[in-house]
Chain A
């Protein structure tokens, strides 16, 4: 009797432990789902070579640039142009401007997000200031470039894509 109990209890416990692991596994699964479906607006990253392989189309799509600052930042952070017309399949350049208004050196991390979500997976960047942290001198400023390409497969009913960056103070700063 006791043995049979141990077997059932052991199996159940195993299930419980496995499900605890599954909880953590949901993190990478979620990332993959986001990448595949564009859920949560995370943008893709491609190499220049891949980008150049695309064929430009005649269609015009408006790309709109938006900037936000998360709490606790004395910043000026804004796109250099409000919006631009781009052709899917063509490589485009844009830039944001950031200025540290405080008298302290600060490291910032920009997080990108694309709306509508359906467009996110067609929005690919070859180069972006969000790929790395950005360090700023006291009162320092810089222009931060970004190069992107819109996949020609972008759904036809999407005529406007918003690219948003939020500036966070980098979390590992003391």
Chain B
């Protein structure tokens, strides 16, 4: 090919490359510096090795391109006949080795810092489930599940009519964020209840595998209040891409307030769960819960979307045995978009929405489920989102 053709090719490459550079969101190009001392150091290491790689690459390619340009037959170059030179060989073994040692020392230092768990001030146990996270504040007696927020959950369904771009933190938001104080060395203990997951928050430079039966550990000391988002990083099955992590770092006072609120919530949920509710009350609450959690798939009038999401109106399950209905709502339906709500809704919400479904949309079951009964039904289930139903629900599968 003539050199004219080459020049055209080059132009095409540039023409292709330019708009891509112009469209791209420049924020999405590099590793974040993050908000901990360690994440800053990791970023520095990353940039340092990156620059070294660029320098080495540039040097090698410069020699290569010079040679390809100058030493071509068409330019009349005659092949020299040199080969084998011990000096050169030794040189290009030693020089990279030295560069590597220069690189390895700071890397080792950061690694040693990362592995220093002493003087931690609080512990949070993180358990990976297919496909959500459970957070337990070991010294606070607070425990909750955290899973994909409902807006993303609607938009991520196949054939969803919601545009993912319209959701601000698509697949990066959760229902219950992990709230932590800034300025405290927090130890995270990682384990999993089913398969291996990996808890990764780039801004904190923490990533650790959660392994069923084992406990793993890492830590972070967040310096700046803010919301930091992460993802499950180890393939964990169908919804691996849909179990985000949100860490909300707040000041110590805000954290204390939050802890207070959590405890109040548990206490008032306890109070609510044990009192007797009227059907009207349950129906009112149930309607609200339905709108927030069920409507996106099962639709406003409970009619569902044929072929995709079954109708609630006239449903055999909803009009049939209460146990089956409860089981479905608590545990979901395997291999379907119907997730289990057993771990994400309270006793009251669950009892209310089940009661609601059994009487709304022309459904005839009409019976009511008291929150207190709900509570006794799922005692123990709270321990594990994927727990098998208790005996009175057996055989439903």
Residues of A participating in the B interface, judged by any CB pair closer than 8 Å: 40-41, 64, 66, 68-77, 82-83, 99, 101-104, 111, 113-118, 157-160, 162, 164, 166, 168
Total interface residues in chain B, CB < 8 Å: 34
Question: B187, A103: Cβ atoms under 8 Å?
Answer: no
Give the nearest-CB partner of A161 in chain B: B117
Question: B138, A68: Cβ atoms under 8 Å?
Answer: no
B208 CB to closest chain A CB, in angstroms? 10
Q: Which of B120, B127, B390 contacts A102 (CB 8 A)?
A: B390
Question: B215, A164: Cβ atoms under 8 Å?
Answer: yes
Total A-B residue contacts, Cβ distance less than 8 Å: 106
A41 CB to closest chain B CB, in angstroms? 6
Question: A71, B117: Cβ atoms under 8 Å?
Answer: no
Q: Which of A71, A74, A160, A166 contacts B380 (CB 8 A)?
A: A74
B381 within 8 A of A: yes
State whether A116 and B117 are in contact (beta carbons under 8 Å apart), knowing that A75-B380, A75-B383, A162-B215 are contacts in the complex.
Answer: yes
B103 within 8 A of A: no
Give the nearest-CB partner of B385 in chain A: A71
Give the nearest-CB partner of A138 in chain B: B391
**Selected interface stretch from B36-44, B175-183, B188-196, B310-318:** B188-196
B304 within 8 A of A: no
Interface centre among B127, B138, B194, B381 (most CB of A within 10 A): B138
B93 within 8 A of A: no
A23 CB to closest chain B CB, in angstroms? 21
Residues of A within 8 A of B279 (CB): none
Give the nearest-CB partner of A72 in chain B: B388
Identify whether the interface residues of B are mostly helix, strand, loop, or mixed: loop
Residues of B within 8 A of A74 (CB): 380-381, 383, 387-388, 390
Question: B116, A164: Cβ atoms under 8 Å?
Answer: no
B89 within 8 A of A: no
Question: B214, A82: Cβ atoms under 8 Å?
Answer: no
Question: B384, A73: Cβ atoms under 8 Å?
Answer: yes
6 contacts across the A-B interface (CB closer than 8 A): A69-B384, A69-B387, A74-B381, A82-B139, A160-B118, A166-B191
B149 within 8 A of A: no
Question: B193, A113: Cβ atoms under 8 Å?
Answer: no
B119 within 8 A of A: yes
Question: A70, B216: Cβ atoms under 8 Å?
Answer: no
Give the CA-CA distance A160 to B123 in the complex, in Å.
10
Give the CA-CA distance A158 to B193 in the complex, in Å.
27
Give the CA-CA distance A166 to B386 in the complex, in Å.
15
State whether A157 and B118 are in contact (beta carbons under 8 Å apart), knowing that A73-B387, A164-B191 are contacts in the complex.
Answer: yes
Give the nearest-CB partner of B219 in chain A: A116
